[in-house]
Amino acid sequence: MIAFWIILTGALVAVTCGLLGCFLILRKMSMVGDAISHAVLPGIVIAFLLSGSRETLPMLLGAGATGLLATFLIEYFHRRAGLQTDAAIGVTFTFLFAVGIILISAFAGKVDIDQDCVLYGEIAYVPIDLWVTANGTIMGPRPVYILSVVLLVVSVFIKLGYKELKLTSFDPAFASALGISTALWHYLLMAAVSFTTVSSFESVGAILVIAFLIGPPATAYLLTHDLKHMLAITVVLAIFISFTGYWMAYWLNASIAGCMAVITGGCFVGVFSIRQLIKPKGSQAITNEVMA
Amino acid sequence: MHSLIDFFSFSDPNVRYVVVGNVLLSASAAMVGAFILLQKKALVGDAVSHAVLPGICAAFLFSGSKNTAFMLVGAFITGWLALVAIDYITAKSKIKKDAAIGLVLSVFFGVGMVMMTYIQQSGNAAQSGLDHFIFGKAATLIGSDLIIFSILAAVLLVVVGLFFKAFTLVAFDRPYAQALGYPVRKLDLLLTSLTVLAVVTGITAVGVVLMAAMLITPAAAARYWTDNIRRMVGIAVAFGMFAGLAGAYISYTAPSMPTGPWMVVVSSAIAFFSFFFAPRKGIVPKLYTQRRNQRIIAEENTLKIFYHLGERTGHFNGMRHFNELTGAREVDKPLLEATLKRLVAQKLLISQGDQWGLTDGGWRKATRVVRLHRLWELYLTSYMNIAADHVHDDAETIEHILTPELERELEAQLGYPDKDPHDTEIPKI
């Protein structure tokens, strides 16, 4: 049963992140996920200090607030100050993370959080974190419920906004000519990423969130040109990674999040090598020439 | 105040180590960071700093102790591999740089996490404190570390100095560098190695996550103060050194405060200040210039209304009612009122109650703007072959920009004309 809950949690996070990650990759914004997942640290520390507990809701609110603050700052520095995007991301999230560590040090006695938990997460504790109703019935692990809701919301969001997301990702100019607000959809997507990152990192950690956001979509991107196929392949890969990652960790007796990240890398390397081998001769020659 | 004197007298050897170490680390990181930033690879530092984890673990497993030199070698190897992997993925597939960076970062760190759990289970007593390498502990810098850092920083300084011109050229104009016969790919590899070296040295002080900031935050700030690359590198190094010093000072006065994060917060503060207030490029000066230009345009357009009314009625020195002005041109009324007040203050208009009229100076300025407008319209129709009914909007913009030199040039080229394409007179002052 423990294995089932952990794999289910991993799969839920992986599918949610993967679906959003497809759009991030197409928009060349993958690192925004990295930024958000680190920028949540000061948010959870402040939420902890204010609420005095590790209740889920204040944590989510605090983390969500700083996650969105990070996306806003990145966009603001990029648009207003003309800072290149990658630098805007780097400056913003490191600043917020540093503030988080300083807050932890300043309130060392009061805060039961450290930076490891943000980076690593602890998916192995998921089955212990049970949801018990008022009359004592055990409903199963709480994160599974939370993550299911998140997956549902994200799926509905992508289903309803599919056309807009697709257009603003591939051809922003055409999209705005059709009257679709690129800024609106940018912020909606960012909000969805923040929301997902924030609800996932507690169970799987920032690093695995990044791996799930980028790994499966990047692998799928190598295999197809069709966005719908890309989303489908991502979902399949995500479930596969969660499953094999868990059993690899079980077998090696090692970090589950780490193993899932390793399997993600393995999938990518496998597909990448196959693509290199069966690449048509002509295009290979051209690439070689360009490289030389 | 007392602690400030204590601190800067450097009488405590511990303070000396931490300060010198911090300053060296941040200076060398900032220097390499300037080139990374210009090559638009700002997040590469983040990938490298995460990718050193498996190297550190491997070095620990191999040596069984926390020997700094071994750790640095291990970290260097995996950090370097990560960068090569990013370059390879982007060169050989349609995956973009950002996705490659994120992928490599998370997968390498994942490998490190797996090795970490293995080390923890091995029960080797020396493992405690291994995470200082990952999360950073600048305050624990000791003499022997300092020697290693000084050597590494010196290497970075010398190599960057030697290849300064080549790096600059590659950063700004790759094809040109290639055409000149520079070994561009080897230079890339060299810069890659330098980046890894800077990250590996810095990571013990600030940790995995914050290392990216040590590289690029000072450089990003410096970019706002100059367009000259030598100055930019110099400013970045200065910002980095200041941040290193400030971080060390803060954790000296408040020992519970971590040095690394404070270094990052200080250099972020410098960067934010630069983004907002740096002359010319900052947000505030830019807004100010924009505001000023808008004012000038509003003023010149208002003066033009008076001129056009003058043309219509045949006399330029009459007084005009507010309604007369708003009837002549579509304007925002509050804006017009404010502009009228400013023009009166500049003595270009005189006001009597709710009536306004041009002064001599005002008339001259209004005439000049109208004249430029019509000269430009004529230029567009006669030289660019644009139809007379299409030239107005363009002239409406350029009339605020043309300089007296250009005005003379236009006049000469058009043969000192009297009439514009709409057959109205081009006024002379």
- Which residues of chain B have a CB within 8 Å of the CB of A80? 283, 286
pLDDT computed for residue B251 by the predictor: 81
Local confidence band at A68 (pLDDT 50, 70, 90 cut-offs): confident
Instruction: Establish if B174 touches chain A: CB-CB under 8 angstroms.
Output: no
- Are B99 and A116 in contact (CB < 8 Å)? no
Instruction: Establish if B99 touches chain A: CB-CB under 8 angstroms.
Output: yes
Please tell me the distance from the alpha carbon of residue A200 to that of residue A14, in angstroms, as a whole number: 9
Instruction: Establish if B268 touches chain A: CB-CB under 8 angstroms.
Output: yes
In this model, does residue B313 exceed pLDDT 70? Answer: yes
Encode pLDDT of B315-359 as tens digits: 887 888 888 888 878 888 888 888 988 988 888 888 888 888 888
Instruction: Establish if B107 touches chain A: CB-CB under 8 angstroms.
Output: yes
- Are A91 and B213 in contact (CB < 8 Å)? yes
pLDDT computed for residue B139 by the predictor: 53
CB A260 within 8 A of CB B110: yes
| Residue A10 within any structural domain of the chain | yes
- Sequence-distant (≥ 6) Cβ neighbours of residue A205 within 8 angstroms: A117, A118, A119, A120, A121, A122, A123, A257
- Are B220 and A87 in contact (CB < 8 Å)? yes
In this model, does residue B269 exceed pLDDT 90? Answer: yes
CB A86 within 8 A of CB B102: no
CB B259 within 8 A of CB B138: yes
pLDDT computed for residue A284 by the predictor: 46
CB B43 within 8 A of CB B219: no
Instruction: Establish if B57 touches chain A: CB-CB under 8 angstroms.
Output: no
Nearest C-alpha of chain A: how many angstroms from B176? 15
Encode pLDDT of B100-126 as tens digits: 999 999 999 899 888 888 887 776 666
Q: List the single residue in A83, A116, A254 with the smallest CB-CB distance to B220.
A: A83
pLDDT computed for residue A73 by the predictor: 92
pLDDT computed for residue B128 by the predictor: 61
Which segment of A84-98, A274-288, B19-33, B55-69 scores lowest on mean pLDDT? A274-288
Query: Rounded mean pLDDT of A18-41?
Result: 88
- Are A91 and B220 in contact (CB < 8 Å)? yes
- Sequence-distant (≥ 6) Cβ neighbours of residue A255 within 8 angstroms: A120, A249, B113, B114, B116, B117
Instruction: Walk across the sheet containing B355-358 and list its strands.
Output: B320-321, B355-358, B349-352
pLDDT computed for residue A286 by the predictor: 43
Angle between helices B97-122 and A227-252 (to 10 degrees): 10
Portion 132-151 of B in contact with A at CB < 8 A? 135
Nearest C-alpha of chain B: how many angstroms from A258? 4
- Are B98 and A264 in contact (CB < 8 Å)? no
| Residue A58 within any structural domain of the chain | yes
CB B372 within 8 A of CB B398: yes
pLDDT computed for residue B77 by the predictor: 92
| Residue A277 within any structural domain of the chain | no
Q: How many CB atoms lie within 10 A of CB B91?
A: 12
Q: What is the mean pLDDT of chain B?
A: 85
In this model, does residue B311 exceed pLDDT 80? Answer: yes
Encode pLDDT of A134-171 as tens digits: 676 776 777 788 888 889 999 999 999 888 888 888 88
pLDDT computed for residue A287 by the predictor: 45
- Are B43 and A86 in contact (CB < 8 Å)? yes
- Which residues of chain B have a CB within 8 Å of the CB of A105? 256-258, 261
Instruction: Establish if B290 touches chain A: CB-CB under 8 angstroms.
Output: no
- Are A258 and B212 in contact (CB < 8 Å)? no
Q: For chain B, what is the largest distance between any 2 Cα atoms, rounded to a whole number of angstroms?
A: 100
| Residue A51 within any structural domain of the chain | yes
Encode pLDDT of B48-103 as tens digits: 888 988 998 888 888 877 777 788 888 889 999 998 899 889 888 888 888 999 99
Which segment of A44-53, A80-89, B9-18, B69-78 scores lowest on mean pLDDT? B9-18
We report the CATH number of the domain holding residue A130 as 1.10.3470.10
CB A6 within 8 A of CB A65: no
In this model, does residue B155 exceed pLDDT 60? Answer: yes
Please tell me the distance from the alpha carbon of residue B416 to that of residue B275, in angstroms, as a whole number: 47
The ipTM (two decimal places) reads 0.87
Angle between helices A256-277 and A2-26 (to 10 degrees): 50
Which site among B92, B97, B103, B131 would you substitute to test the A interface, given the most A Cβ atoms closer than 10 Å to its Cβ? B103
Q: What are the helix and strand counts (H, E) for chain B?
A: 19, 3
- Sequence-distant (≥ 6) Cβ neighbours of residue B282 within 8 angstroms: A81, B224, B274, B275, B276
For B367, left (φ over 0), alpha (ψ -120 to 50), or beta? alpha
- Are B101 and A31 in contact (CB < 8 Å)? yes
pLDDT computed for residue A289 by the predictor: 41
pLDDT computed for residue A195 by the predictor: 84
In this model, does residue A56 exceed pLDDT 50? Answer: yes
Query: Rounded mean pLDDT of A128-133?
Result: 69
pLDDT computed for residue A291 by the predictor: 43
CB A13 within 8 A of CB A148: no
Encode pLDDT of B7-24 as tens digits: 676 667 777 777 887 888
Query: Rounded mean pLDDT of B239-255?
Result: 86
- Residue B429 DSSP class: -
Phi, psi of B278 (to 5 degrees): -60, 135
In this model, does residue B198 exceed pLDDT 80? Answer: yes
Which site among A38, A84, A95 would you substitute to test the B interface, given the most B Cβ atoms closer than 10 Å to its Cβ? A95
Q: What is the mean pLDDT of chain A?
A: 83
pLDDT computed for residue B49 by the predictor: 86
- Are A91 and B262 in contact (CB < 8 Å)? no
Phi, psi of B330 (to 5 degrees): -70, 110
Where are the extended beta strands (E) located within chain A?
130-132, 138-141
Q: From A217, which residue of chain B is nearest by alpha-carbon distance?
A: B99
DSSP line for A139-166: EEEHHHHHHHHHHHHHHHHHHHTHHHHH
Q: How many CB atoms lie within 10 A of CB B345?
A: 9
What angle (nearest 5°) sits at the alpha carbon of residue B323, between those of residues B365 and B317? 40
pLDDT computed for residue B242 by the predictor: 92
- Which residues of chain A have a CB within 8 Å of the CB of B276? 81
Structural domains of chain B in order of their starting residue, each with its CATH number: 12-214 (1.10.3470.10), 285-358 (1.10.10.10), 363-413 (1.10.60.10)
Which segment of A50-64, A172-186, A264-278, B273-287 scores lowest on mean pLDDT? A50-64
| Residue A152 within any structural domain of the chain | yes
- Are B117 and A258 in contact (CB < 8 Å)? yes
More confident residue, B317 or A175: A175
The domain total for chain A is 1
| Residue A20 within any structural domain of the chain | yes
- Are B107 and A98 in contact (CB < 8 Å)? no
Q: Among B386, B366, B260, B364, which residue's Cα sits nearest to residue B309?
A: B366
Element (H, E) at B351: strand B349-352
% of chain B beyond a pLDDT of 90? 18
pLDDT computed for residue A285 by the predictor: 43
- Are B265 and A89 in contact (CB < 8 Å)? no
% of chain A beyond a pLDDT of 70? 85
pLDDT computed for residue A237 by the predictor: 94
pLDDT computed for residue A290 by the predictor: 42
**A vs B: CB pairs below 8 A:** 205
Which site among B44, B113, B174, B225 would you substitute to test the A interface, given the most A Cβ atoms closer than 10 Å to its Cβ? B113
In this model, does residue A117 exceed pLDDT 70? Answer: no
Q: How many CB atoms lie within 10 A of CB B429?
A: 8
Q: Residue B425's beta-bridge partner residues?
A: B419
- Which one-letter amino acid corresponds to residue B57? C
- Are A90 and B256 in contact (CB < 8 Å)? no
Query: Rounded mean pLDDT of A95-108?
Result: 86
Local confidence band at A288 (pLDDT 50, 70, 90 cut-offs): very low
- Are A211 and B110 in contact (CB < 8 Å)? yes
Encode pLDDT of A183-220 as tens digits: 888 888 888 888 888 888 777 888 888 899 999 999 99
Residue with tokens 């697709």: A166
Which segment of A50-64, B123-137, B262-276, B370-384 scores lowest on mean pLDDT? B123-137
- Which one-letter amino acid corresponds to residue B290? Q
What angle (nearest 5°) sits at the alpha carbon of residue B142, between those of residues B139 and B146? 105
- Are A261 and B131 in contact (CB < 8 Å)? no
Query: Rounded mean pLDDT of A77-105?
Result: 89
Which segment of B64-73, B138-147, B163-172 scores lowest on mean pLDDT? B138-147
| Residue A48 within any structural domain of the chain | yes
Q: Among A31, A36, A20, which residue's Cα sits nearest to residue A169?
A: A20
**b/e A109-138 (16+ beta carbons within 10 angstroms → b):** eebebebebbbbbbbeebbebeeeeeeeee
- Which residues of chain A have a CB within 8 Å of the CB of B98? 28-31, 86
pLDDT computed for residue B218 by the predictor: 94
- Residue B6 DSSP class: H
Please tell me the distance from the alpha carbon of residue B171 to that of residue A262, in angstroms, as a whole number: 34
- Which one-letter amino acid corresponds to residue B160? V
CB A188 within 8 A of CB A157: yes
Q: List the single residue in B46, B100, B257 with the smallest CB-CB distance to A102.
A: B257
- Which one-letter amino acid corresponds to residue A98? A
Q: List the single residue in B114, B118, B265 with the smallest CB-CB distance to A95.
A: B265
Phi, psi of A108 (to 5 degrees): -50, -40
In this model, does residue A130 exceed pLDDT 80? Answer: no
pLDDT computed for residue B354 by the predictor: 81
pLDDT computed for residue B327 by the predictor: 80
Q: From B104, which residue of chain A is nearest by alpha-carbon distance?
A: A265
Domain around A103:
2-213
| Residue A19 within any structural domain of the chain | yes
Query: Rounded mean pLDDT of B265-274?
Result: 93
Q: Residue B350's beta-bridge partner residues?
A: B357
